[in-house]
Structure 1
Amino acid sequence: MGMHPVLQRVVVLFLLLWALGPVAWMLLTSIKPDTLVAASPPVWVFEPTLSNYVTLLGSTDFQRYLTNTLIVATITSALAATLGFLSAYAFTRFRFRGATSLPLFYLVVRMVPRITLVLPLYVIFTQMHLLNTRAALIVAYTTFALPFGIWMMIGFLKELPIDLEEAAAVDGCNRWQVLQKVVVPLASPGIAVTAIFAFLLGWNEFLFSLILAGPDSRTLPVLIASFDTDRGVLWGQFSAAAVSIMLPVAAVALLLQRRIVSGLTMGAVKG
């Protein structure tokens, strides 16, 4: 027996409020005057101000952290998508020892809590003279994004008809040409999903950025934490920074939602 339509609407409305309520509160806080941010009871009618955004966007710290975030997230996305696709292609198209067990090993790496790897990565990057650099974050993020990319692409490539590759080979294409002209176009939804999720990891991750990066290489999530000062939390600037981080990602998700859904559903059929 299905749920009554009215009850369904009530449940959906409750879930929407539960999910979007904090976001709406954050948006309101970002445009409130500082004197009204902590008012009790909350003030709902006020004259909006963009002073928090002006202060934030004019800050050299924000500009530096934004640049770091874009560089780290973009390179992480490109590496995870490229290496994940090539690894998955090898696992699904070639027979070799470990072709079945290695993907499971990568999945175990994905399941390990990040906090347990902070100290080993700190020591390794110190010895390699990568500590406090963007390269350290890129390596760390790619390490965690790659297992997801491999598993996503394995499930996706298993669904692609191998007959098309064989037909291209019969027509005279070598392995690289088959990969470039046949497999990559067909696998583009899965590659896009892998790239997007890796980008989100590099965009949102906090722990590694806090510990493995220095003041000149940290990313935006660490900047948000800096608004918790000894004078209290600067909620206006805190919210403005959170909105500035959230909006680009939300815009990308909305623009590419069809490709994301198609990539996830296609790759989830077999795995």
Structure 2
Amino acid sequence: MRNKHLTPKQLLIKTLFWGLIIWICGTILLPIFAVTMYSLADETTYPRSGGDMVIPPHWGQEGNLLHHFKMVWILEDLPVYLARSLVLALGTVILSITLSAPAAYAFVRFRFPFRKILLLSFFVFMMMPDIVFGVSLFSMFYKWGLINTIIGVIMVHTLRAIPLTLLILNGVFESIPPTLEEAAFTMGTSRLRTLRKVILPLSAPGVAAASIYAFLLSWDDFVLTVLVGGPESYNLAVLASRFMIGTDVQHYRASATAVIMLVPVLFVNFFVQRYMKSDYLTGGMARDF
């Protein structure tokens, strides 16, 4: 029979490990729990002034559990912000992957001067604060007439997303053997078609990871959207911030907006999850020729 007794050292390591797991889960889940409670609570009774209340004593308001969601949906034109946020996020995904994939492929398969320096420069862009990045682009976008436009916000989100999406795809493309491309070339396939029909299908997990990053960056971006956007191009993150600014702070409507923002994020992660499986590493090449 297996000895289940642990030495003091093993017990300490196990305790620290599970303590760290619980701490990480609590750090992640506590804000979600808080905004959910605020979004469903009666604002006249929750929270108590002493702050000793965790679960609301009364749910909803005016007999409606979803009162705060209803107020945000009707009074704040939330459907417009929701649709706009989806357009911005999906546009950022499409544009960033479209630009990053050929660039990453070129970095992997071609050797040219200053290649490593150029790759390193993308890390510099990633370290640049959003406020510095946005201010440096503002005057240029203003001259081009892209301020307060959907296209302008998509472009600035894409420029922010490209450094990491390119580095993700660069690592994925490097793991694909060049012999697969050589086999496609012998069949008369062009390099661009090889990228589209061979490399990208084999890189589905990496493309999915890069797409999730680009989507989330655009979906919850606040600083760049405020700097480059305007009333006609603001997303849900800007709407949520409006409830927390000024003397009339509306925690409940801000929380309802935050919960609504979580739903598409969970859906995207659930949908793209299947492309992260290893089955997609080997499929989809032969049928495309």
Which residue of structure 1 lines up, in the alignment, with residue 36 of structure 2? 27
Give 2:169's aligned residue: 153
Structure 2 match to 1:269: none
Which residue matches 1:46?
A: 58
Q: How many residues align?
A: 262
Q: In the superposition, relative to structure 1, how do residues 145 and 260 fare at CA in structure 2: closer, same or farther (>3 Å)? A: farther
What displacement does 1:219 show?
Answer: 0.8
Q: In structure 2, what is the equivalent of residue 16 of structure 1?
A: 25
* 8 Å Cα contact 1:36-1:43 kept in structure 2: no
The amino acid of 2:254's aligned partner reads: F
Any gaps of 5 or more consecutive residues in structure 2? 1-8, 279-289
Matched, 1:207 2:218: no
Structure-2 change in CA distance of 1:8 and 1:66 (3 Å): same
Q: Distance in 2 between matches of 1:181 and 1:118?
A: 36
TM-score, with normalisation over the residues of structure 1? 0.89
Over aligned residue pairs, what C-alpha RMSD do you find? 2.1
User: d(CA) in 1 for partners of 2:113 and 2:77?
Assistant: 50
Work out which of the residue numbers 66, 70, 87 in structure 2 matches 1:71. 87
Calculate the TM-score normalised by the size of structure 2. 0.83
Alignment gaps of 5+ in structure 1: 263-271
Please name the residue that 1:112 is paired with: 128
Greater Cα radius of gyration, structure 1 or 2:
2
CA distance in 2 between counterparts of 1:105 and 1:32 reads 48
Q: Deviations over 1:124-179 (max 9, x none)?
A: 11111111111221111111110111111111111001111111212232223322
Is 2:211 the partner of 1:195?
Answer: yes
Q: Distance in 2 between matches of 1:241 and 1:228?
A: 12
Q: Does 1:80 align with 2:89?
A: no
Equivalent pairs: percent with the same residue? 31
> In the alignment, does 2:126 pair up with 1:94?
no
Query: More deviation in 39-48 or 141-150?
Result: 39-48
User: 1-side partners of 2:117 and 2:23: how far apart?
Assistant: 43
Which one is further off, 173-182 or 108-117? 173-182
Q: Which has the higher contact order (CA 8 A, sep 6+)?
A: 1
Distance 2:132 2:15 in 1: 47
Deviations 1:177-224 (A, max 9, x none): 322221111112111111110111110100111121111111111101
Measured at CA, do residues 59 and 260 of structure 1 come closer, stay the same or move farther in structure 2, by a change above 3 Å? farther
Distance 1:9 1:43 in 2: 24
CA distance in 2, matches of 1:260, 1:114: 29
